[in-house]
Structure 1
Amino acid sequence: MFSKDIYIQRRRILASRIGKGIILLPGNREQGMNYRDNHYPFRQDSTFLYYTGIDLPDLVFVMDLDGGKEYVYGEEQSLEDTVWTGPLPSLLSMAEKSGVGQVRCISSLKDALKGGSAIHYLPPYRADVHLLLQSWGISEKPSVELIQAVVLQRSYKQAEEVIQIEQAIGVSVAMQRKAMELARPGIRESEIAAQLQAIAVSEGGNLAFPTILTVNGQFLHNHASHQVLQNGQMVLCDCGAENQMHYAGDLTRTFPVSGVFTSRQKEIYNIVLNAHESAIAALKPGILFKEVHLLACEQLASGLKAIGLMKGDPKEAVAQGAHALFFQCGLGHMMGLDVHDMENLGEQYVGYTPDLQKSTEFGLKSLRFGRALEPDFVLTVEPGIYFIPQLIEEWKATGKYSDFINYEAVEAYKDFGGIRVEEDFLITSNGSRLLGTPLSKRIEEIES
């Protein structure tokens, strides 16, 4: 946990922005994996953690703004619980560390919500929390006012949070280096992925998300399978650790199984790297991240034109969406307690504004974050080029964007795979700062 004062101040700011009523923040509960008592690894709700720091299951945090009171609702560990788990910190002691005044029995919560005050809660993303809300007789819709207040606070990372994020990125760097070390002909993707998770767990945390580790990097979220690595292939490894405080890292590297890129792989890799570095150079307060995304897309299109896969004006090709044959996703996303920070609250609130609406166009609609950058935002930059045979075949059959795409040349790349390079950045007062220990990303560095 952070110091008590940090949580108290966070809640004070939230209370001042909401003003009246009750703020209801249910924590996450234990979830049965294949029967009730065989649990998935517990992960606390990130907003609950942000305002309380209490990392225990089956709790609810309540702020009574009208009465000026705060409560943690839950149950203290029983003697029977102790038989199974050993003694754990008491709920009361954890509440005191968080600066919360009182602990109450969870069974009394329903009656406490009957006073007629407006109840502010966030959109539930787990079915059991949705059912709990129903059982408490809450019929109001999730509070947009609370969503906006939480996003407003959590978007700006405090110095203490940046330290935690950099710690998680440091573990993520170790995971990437291990992947490069292990990759060789004859090893399975799953063998490498298992050792990456072992690193995350050994550092006191776990994975921030299921590791994407694949020789089929053309598929954006292709997780490790039992495929055996072979010479001539590339491994795309997108992995991240979650540290003990539940802050995330998120890094991607693409590297050759043999240890040496082919000339064709080098060409595509350098196009991606150029787009990556062009985007980084553009990061600064005030610029729309959507503009940075489009800049990266134009750099990708220019590079692909230079090797004969695209044609025409790169800027116009991007404006019409032709580049999405090769780059179907967004350039990056916010990162913090969630690897895609706060996305359970709604991308329209986290990544966009009333004046900047999310696109519905293929490719651009996958840009999770488009709003203007501000100091203390933490985000990823992750351009890529992906040759998806099925997509190529469909677009070629209809002649889609034939003014910009040289389909005959693209045919030769249907077996290529995909390349992505990703790093994490803090927006500063006049630009950005790379977070974490630098990790090799240039061809000569990776090969060496």
Structure 2
Amino acid sequence: ADYLAAAIRLGRRIHYLPPYRGETKLQLSALLGIAPALLHDYKSVDLMFAVAEMREVKSAEEVAQMEDAFHIGYAMHSTAMRMCRAGVVEREIAGAIEGVAKSMGLGVSFPSIVSQHGETLHNLNSEGVLADGRLLLVDAGGENRMNYCSDHTRTYPVSGRFTAQQREIYDIVLACHDHIARIVRPGMMYMQEVHLEAYRKLAEGLVGVGLLKGSADDAVAAGAMYLFMPHGLGHGLGMDVHDCENIGERSFDYSLVAERAAQSATCLHRATWRLRPGTILSDEPGIYFIPALVDKCEAEGKFRGIVDYDLLRSRYLDFGGIRIEDDLLVTDTGCRILGDRTIPVTVEELEAVVGR
């Protein structure tokens, strides 16, 4: 406090990142004499970009730590799959995999999502009792002892066997997940190329099952994919999940520094993010059937002639949601999925493990 007070008296600039935790805001307020409500007005944009530029490109040593964190995630998801059977309470699985993460590292890298209501994004309610016929979505990861994180999602049937309808939608999501892992390469723009390509791939599958009419490109151009995947394809990953978006994307208007964001092109701002060798990002497409969103879009007359609302309502409103997620390391020529093995992901692999 004395050091900072002296610096302030000398008119020196104090650089800090935009805080979001309450205790951090109070600490900074006391140290700098800035009211908590005004802290964001004095944050250091220079430091924000410097940290993101430093942390986005991973060294070989950091990649090794990420591979170590992968093993924690692998053990967590394998445990969840073995526990999945009718009658188990979702929180029993959530608690068990949190124990795995704590026994192998520093604990979970974010609060685990373990829910049969996969259509509810970031659903932290795990009070449901698993029932045959439902799908269980588990989005979870671990943090290793050097603070590096993993983040994976798997979705599988409680009964241990996909229904024909579940498999049909699952295979669309898996095809998209695999497609992205094949095409990602350095130099690609995240939003304008990678995310849009995921939308196109999912749209092709939805046209194939009759939920979308016309061409996949027309559906994407009309914004209809928002109805089925209302989130970004992925995010940066490293010493945090959503690394480094937590440094301000959700609390800062980047239009104020649009030129700076485009020049930096880091994961700090997904709209201007250009992938580079050493970048690690998640690949997590999904298809969700969200009754409230269906009601809203249909009532507002959105996507008429593109979305088959009759089919959607008659067969899919109680479906839930599917997401599949792995972590990609961008290389000099393309990318690879992190890990020395694959968390079971195909229909056949999942059916051989779940509930066994």
TM-score by length of 2: 0.88
Question: How far off is 1:162 after superposition?
Answer: 1.1
**More displaced stretch, 312-321 vs 110-119:** 110-119
Task: Work out the number of aligned pairs and report it.
Answer: 335
Give the whole-Å Cα distance in 2 for the aligned partners of 1:369 and 1:202: 37
Structure 1 residues 363-408: Cα deviation after superposition (integer angstroms, max 9, x where no partner): xxxx946522100001000000000011112222333101210111
Question: How far off is 1:280 after superposition?
Answer: 1.3
| Match among 140, 161, 165 for residue 62 of structure 2 | 161
| Match among 98, 121, 127 for residue 197 of structure 1 | 98
Question: How far off is 1:259 after superposition?
Answer: 0.6
Question: How far off is 1:108 after superposition?
Answer: 5.2
Give the whole-Å Cα distance in 1 for the aligned partners of 2:237 and 2:179: 21
Aligned to 2:157: 256
Structure 1 residues 301-323: Cα deviation after superposition (integer angstroms, max 9, x where no partner): 11111111110121121112011
* Structure number, greater radius of gyration: 1
| Match among 386, 409, 423 for residue 311 of structure 2 | 409
Aligned to 1:423: 326
Aligned to 2:38: none
Unaligned runs of 5+ in 1: 1-105, 359-366
| Match among 234, 237, 251 for residue 335 of structure 1 | 237
Q: Residue 235 of structure 1 aligns to a residue in which SS? A: strand
Question: How far off is 1:107 after superposition?
Answer: 5.6
State how 1:76-87 maps to structure 2 within 5 Å: none
Aligned to 2:258: 354
State how 1:8-407 maps to structure 2 within 5 Å: 109-111=4-6, 113-138=8-33, 141-290=42-191, 291-347=193-249, 354=258, 368=270, 371-407=273-309
Structure 1 residues 7-53: Cα deviation after superposition (integer angstroms, max 9, x where no partner): xxxxxxxxxxxxxxxxxxxxxxxxxxxxxxxxxxxxxxxxxxxxxxx
Question: How far off is 1:138 after superposition?
Answer: 5.0
| Structure in which a larger fraction of residues adopt helix | 2
Question: How far off is 1:346 after superposition?
Answer: 2.1
Give the whole-Å Cα distance in 1 for the aligned partners of 2:164 and 2:249: 39
Question: How far off is 1:355 after superposition?
Answer: 5.6
| Structure in which a larger fraction of residues adopt strand | 1
Q: Residue 123 of structure 1 aligns to a residue in which SS? A: coil
Give the whole-Å Cα distance in 2 for the aligned partners of 1:147 and 1:216: 36
**What is the root-mean-square deviation in Å for CA atoms of aligned residues?**
2.3
Question: How far off is 1:356 after superposition?
Answer: 10
Rate the CA distance shift 1:427–1:219 in 2: closer, same or farther, 3 A: same
Aligned to 2:265: none
Give the whole-Å Cα distance in 1 for the aligned partners of 2:120 and 2:89: 18
Q: Residue 231 of structure 1 aligns to a residue in which SS? A: coil
Aligned to 1:85: none
Whether the 8 Å CA contact 2:72–2:105 is kept in 1: the answer is: no
Matched AA of 1:331 = L
1:435 and 2:338 matched: yes
Matched AA of 1:336 = G
Matched AA of 1:426 = L
Matched AA of 1:177 = S
**More displaced stretch, 108-117 vs 379-388:** 108-117
Aligned to 1:10: none
Matched AA of 2:10 = G
Rate the CA distance shift 1:370–1:405 in 2: closer, same or farther, 3 A: farther
Q: Percent identity?
A: 44
Whether the 8 Å CA contact 1:193–1:224 is kept in 2: the answer is: no
Give the whole-Å Cα distance in 1 for the aligned partners of 2:153 and 2:127: 20
Structure 1 residues 192-241: Cα deviation after superposition (integer angstroms, max 9, x where no partner): 11000000001131011000010010111112422100111110000000
TM-score by length of 1: 0.71
Whether the 8 Å CA contact 1:158–1:376 is kept in 2: the answer is: yes
Give the whole-Å Cα distance in 1 for the aligned partners of 2:298 and 2:242: 34
Give the whole-Å Cα distance in 2 for the aligned partners of 1:409 and 1:191: 35
Rate the CA distance shift 1:355–1:381 in 2: closer, same or farther, 3 A: farther
Which structure would you say has the larger RCO, counting Cα contacts within 8 Å and 6 or more residues apart?
A: 2
Give the whole-Å Cα distance in 2 for the aligned partners of 1:138 and 1:269: 54
Unaligned runs of 5+ in 2: 35-40, 263-268
Whether the 8 Å CA contact 1:171–1:200 is kept in 2: the answer is: yes
